[in-house]
Amino acid sequence: MSERIPGDGNVRIEMNGLMVGRYDETKKTYEVGILPAPVHALSISVVETMPGGATRELWTLPIDEIPAHHRTWQLEIKDRNPDANLFHFSDPGAGNGLFNRTVKPDDDMPEEKRKDFRWVIDLENNFPEHGSTLQIRKEVLWPIIYIKNGLFYTHLSEGITTGFQKLQFKSGLLTGFEEFGYASDVVAVDLGVLPEDEEVILRVAPESEDGPPGADIYRLVVMPGSKYVIKIENMPTHREHVFKGNERSHFQFYYMLFDVLGSKWYDFAGIVESGVIHPHHDIAADIAEGDTGDDGGLGTPNPFKCSIGHLGNRTEPLD
């Protein structure tokens, strides 16, 4: 895993919403599969922040123009060899080396530790009922994007008090929640791109590894002094995603993809913390609708986890 600290690149990819990921350490590539789910929609956009601070949207994905059979895509820096890596903070005080997600990732924690990729939920290592390897149903994910470059880390979105949420979870037929710990909302990829000399390309993947490149979907030419954000989101499409009562969270949409017995399904609920606003949970709107959080601190069952789930043990490609 990389020792370089992410966050200073001139191009950043941000991923949020229902999707699963897998890192291929041999190929230095990270695969992201988008999960088509009810009331969620895929969007990809590119925003430039120019040297003076002004911003403009350069491009949005014309999703209806992409043929359904173009299922695998690539996102890469032109003519650069694959070098994707996961950022793990080296903490000499960790002792046994296990990652502890119960400690609050606030301002008292080193910024580098808050960027550790391991804040991402690991669908194969954080859920005992899942077992060590989840079986994926074929032809469910669309698209699957092979990201070949950059340093992957957890990211604090601008305008959000914290990029993490404290969660409780339960499995199967259990009625009570237990503490899960903190999990990140956004996964980012730090790309250092040479202005005017390199391009970031989103394209259809070739039909074979040694085949000709697929058709371009978008090319980003990086200009000196500018910074860019490529947003890949699969988020709820309307306000109804804030649940009431004892309804289930959007985390259970993942079981459309995984072959897991219903008695072993997990569910999440967020713990409302004072002064914290989360991108998936509009506390002010809930209060306006009569939900004052008088339910033991649990709040409304959040649609969390509407963000990427990592497959930490998977050795086979997502497709």
Numbers of helices and strands, H then E, in the chain: 2, 17
Other Cβ atoms less than 10 A from the Cβ of 23: the count is 21
**Cis peptide bond upstream of 305, omega within 30:** yes
Distances (CA, A) of 57 to 8, 83, 117, 298: 21, 28, 28, 37
Q: What is the pTM of this model?
A: 0.87
Digit-by-digit pLDDT tens for the chain (319 residues) are: 455 778 889 999 999 999 999 999 999 999 999 999 988 899 999 999 999 999 999 999 998 889 888 999 999 999 999 999 999 987 655 544 568 888 888 778 888 888 999 999 999 999 989 989 999 999 999 999 999 999 999 976 554 445 577 788 888 766 778 889 888 878 999 999 999 889 999 999 998 878 888 999 999 999 999 999 999 999 887 654 444 444 567 888 999 999 999 889 998 877 766 555 444 444 333 433 444 444 333 333 344 557 789 999 999 999 8
Using DSSP's 3-state secondary structure scheme, residue 263 falls into helix
Using DSSP's 3-state secondary structure scheme, residue 64 falls into helix
Close Cβ partners of 58 (under 8 Å, ≥ 6 residues apart)? 46, 47, 48, 220, 228
Q: How far apart, in whole angstroms, are the C-alpha atoms of residue 42 and residue 252?
A: 18
